[in-house]
Structure 1
């Protein structure tokens, strides 16, 4: 009985460490991209399962290495979320990181050398981000956002469609992740200051950092409108309902936000907007 309970605690900790909910969203995003923006027949393609699995495994490894380097900071910012050093040792955390990363790269190699190369680059950037870039202003946020957009684009890289819709959704994933990462830095300000990080909120202050987010949201909206204008992908009413209204609400709440709880809620709302965007792919048929 004790052994079973210990294993269950270990499994729960591992799922918490690898952000299982986020992994589901990543896999769902790739399946929706393939099924609704390319062709519904791709959903029966075993290669899509391999592609999604490789991406999810590498993302899980990325979450592990991120927490590995951030244990001390997390004890200040989010003590209840700390797993490494408690239910999972640092040695096992590194082992899981290496195993999951290697499995993700090998699965990518089963598909093509291009997918494997992208996966190797992703593994490296996730490690470099966790070890160094995330403590620098903006560059760490940018890299995570870029990798999130790449999770959408890699589907197109494999199926070779050149779809403008996929570019729009990849841009959506990039910009929303960039905004969310900056908001998370605002939420984690206390711990980051303690350990000498140089994130945007630390270097510029909350007020100026908010203005950067306003600019990013404007650039994002302009990018979507321009792409839609030139390629006539879908009616602008679609964007008004499923994108611009949620973004205006995010903007309104951001202007008023000034506490850790406020920024935590905004970060969660960014995830809701991203999930809405993923599910909206179903409106395009396939």
Structure 2
């Protein structure tokens, strides 16, 4: 079935919401406020203006990253996910670039209002997201690592600003890093057709689906070992409990991934990883 393309406009609210992955941004805010309430010694921080600015700057930088990613990936997305294409179909390309630049400026400025550390982190994050969209995502594993690192940082930035030595937040940041890395590689399996067409050197394109699945298994085991290591080295029993609770969901992922070979199945597993990460974040309410 062919997809009808309307003439792009200067601005569309629904197009902007779709382009910036609104619900993903909501999850970022949720994760940061959950972290602040349950893991910081002073839970009253959640009502502070500083946390609102910190969280706001994070999601604004993330929104800009989503925009520039779609800007560069129009041709690939027309193959992989034509129904989700916004740039050039709903919003004009130059408008998308203007929005990306404006949001980055706002996000970085908000960061500097909190201090040079957060401002610099926001600047580096914006630069990495642009580099990811422009080139890094087409380099084996590097792009996946960048996205995973920035996701983990969106959690750990709460510790950086409020409690630099909070190791509980470090544990959850590591969890977010590894789960995002797994999900990003699964998304590469889902997008194999379009990526191979445009010579993107993702793991599935370079090494094939079978070896890519093996790498996902190794990363999953590394996640469990990392949480156990934090338990033995620096943190209390909650990290070990979390690692044990993850065995079931990861085992299910292994079983489904081993048999998966269609776009629909990989899309299911990608969404499943997002659900596991969300459940992991909410576990803060029970462990602390």
Q: TM-score, normalised by structure 2?
A: 0.93
1:237-278 superposed Cα distances (whole Å, 9 cap, x missing partner):
44433x222111111111111111111000000100111011
Deviation of 1:228 after TM superposition, in Å, equals 1.1
1:188-235 superposed Cα distances (whole Å, 9 cap, x missing partner):
000001111111001000000011111101111101111112335235
The one of 164, 173, 177 equivalent to 1:174 is 177
Quote the Cα distance in structure 2 between the aligned partners of 1:218 and 1:95. 42
Aligned length: 278
> Residue 200 of structure 1 corresponds to which residue in structure 2?
203
> Residue 258 of structure 1 corresponds to which residue in structure 2?
261
> Residue 240 of structure 1 corresponds to which residue in structure 2?
244
Structure 1 window deviating more from structure 2 (186-195 vs 273-282): it is 273-282
Unaligned runs of 5+ in 2: 1-7
Quote the Cα distance in structure 1 between the aligned partners of 2:241 and 2:133. 40
Taking structure 1 as reference, are residues 283 and 161 closer, same or farther at Cα in structure 2, changes over 3 Å only?
farther
Pairing 1:95–2:84 present: no
SS in 2 for 1:205: helix
Quote the Cα distance in structure 2 between the aligned partners of 1:84 and 1:237. 44
Quote the Cα distance in structure 2 between the aligned partners of 1:179 and 1:264. 13
Pairing 1:112–2:118 present: no
What's the Cα RMSD here?
1.5
Quote the Cα distance in structure 1 between the aligned partners of 2:242 and 2:31. 19
Pairing 1:31–2:41 present: no
Quote the Cα distance in structure 2 between the aligned partners of 1:221 and 1:238. 9
Q: Which one scores higher on RCO, CA 8 angstroms, separation ≥ 6?
A: 1
Quote the Cα distance in structure 2 between the aligned partners of 1:161 and 1:44. 20
Preserved CA contact (<8 Å) 1:164 1:233 = no
The one of 105, 130, 133 equivalent to 1:130 is 133
Unaligned runs of 5+ in 1: 1-5
Preserved CA contact (<8 Å) 1:23 1:56 = yes
Quote the Cα distance in structure 2 between the aligned partners of 1:251 and 1:42. 39
Moved over 3 A (4+): 235-239
1:28-47 superposed Cα distances (whole Å, 9 cap, x missing partner):
11111111110321111110
